[in-house]
């Protein structure tokens, strides 16, 4: 992140650690979903515990970074954009954690023929998250690469939408009770939100990038 933080190595390390936590959160989410769908509930709950710890650590780091950016008057010309990127990224991690928590609380019954689709839905959503983080890193280190990552997020977001639509169409064409159909749709929708929020972050990232290049 030398483009901004030549004299603030500690802050640079904290932002890198924060972004690492967002990526780890996505990876743990994918593992948790796979365990849930294969009925490995002990492992699933362990992943949920790990993810909640990551979210807590990320929240603490983000607040610490925000305080330093304000109190030390660092990068005043881009401070608002950096804070916005961190806060919107935090929403992605929060949604990811909330998703796994909802599986634990509501224990949805996912039809056998939809399990692979749910795994794919989780994978595509997390690919959006991962490329969003890569885009944010590029904003600091190699701004010319930001556009490539934003394009990838837009692509995987559309793929996420396709998988979610497939799940919804499939479940509503079964003979399951309406309550079951709605429950499955609910969980598909909320996993899809990871990709939606990632795209929102990239919209903010694109604007921040344009401002830096002006």
pLDDT at 70: 77
What is the distance in angstroms between the CA of the first residue and the CA of the last residue of the chain?
19
Q: Does 44 map to a domain?
A: yes
Predicted structure pTM score: 0.92
Q: Does 53 map to a domain?
A: yes
Q: Does 1 map to a domain?
A: no
Q: Which tens digit of pLDDT belongs to each residue from 69-96? A: 777 655 666 778 888 999 999 999 999 9
| Structural domain for 44, as ranges | 9-213
Closest among 199, 34, 26, 193 to 110, alpha carbons compared = 34
- Tally the domains of the chain: 1
Per the prediction, the chain carries an average pLDDT of 92
Confidence band, pLDDT 50/70/90 cuts, at residue 183: very high
Cβ 126 vs Cβ 29: under 8 Å: yes
CATH number of the CATH domain containing 116? 1.20.58.220
Q: Does 3 map to a domain?
A: no
3-class SS string, 118-139 = HHHHHHHHHHHHHHHHHHHHHH
> Given the structure tokens 């780091």, which residue do they identify?
61
């Amino acid at each position: 992140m030398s483009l901004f933080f030549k004299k603030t190595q500690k802050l640079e390390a904290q932002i890198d650690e924060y972004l690492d936590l967002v990526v780890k959160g996505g990876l743990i989410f994918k593992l948790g979903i796979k365990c849930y769908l294969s009925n490995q509930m002990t492992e699933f709950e362990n992943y949920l515990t790990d993810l909640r710890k990551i979210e807590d650590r990320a929240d603490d780091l983000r607040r610490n970074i925000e305080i330093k950016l304000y109190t030390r008057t660092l990068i005043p010309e881009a401070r608002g954009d950096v804070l916005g990127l961190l806060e919107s990224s935090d929403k992605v991690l929060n949604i990811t954690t909330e998703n796994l928590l909802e599986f634990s609380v509501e224990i949805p019954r996912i039809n056998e023929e939809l399990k692979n689709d749910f795994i794919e839905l989780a994978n595509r959503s997390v690919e959006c998250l991962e490329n969003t983080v890569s885009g944010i890193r590029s904003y600091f280190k190699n701004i010319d690469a930001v556009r490539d990552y934003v394009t990838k997020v837009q692509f995987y977001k559309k793929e996420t939408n396709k998988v979610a639509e497939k799940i919804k169409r499939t479940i509503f064409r079964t003979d399951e009770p309406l309550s079951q159909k709605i429950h499955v749709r609910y969980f598909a929708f909320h996993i899809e939100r990871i990709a939606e929020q990632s795209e929102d972050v990239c919209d903010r990232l694109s604007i921040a990038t344009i401002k830096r290049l002006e």
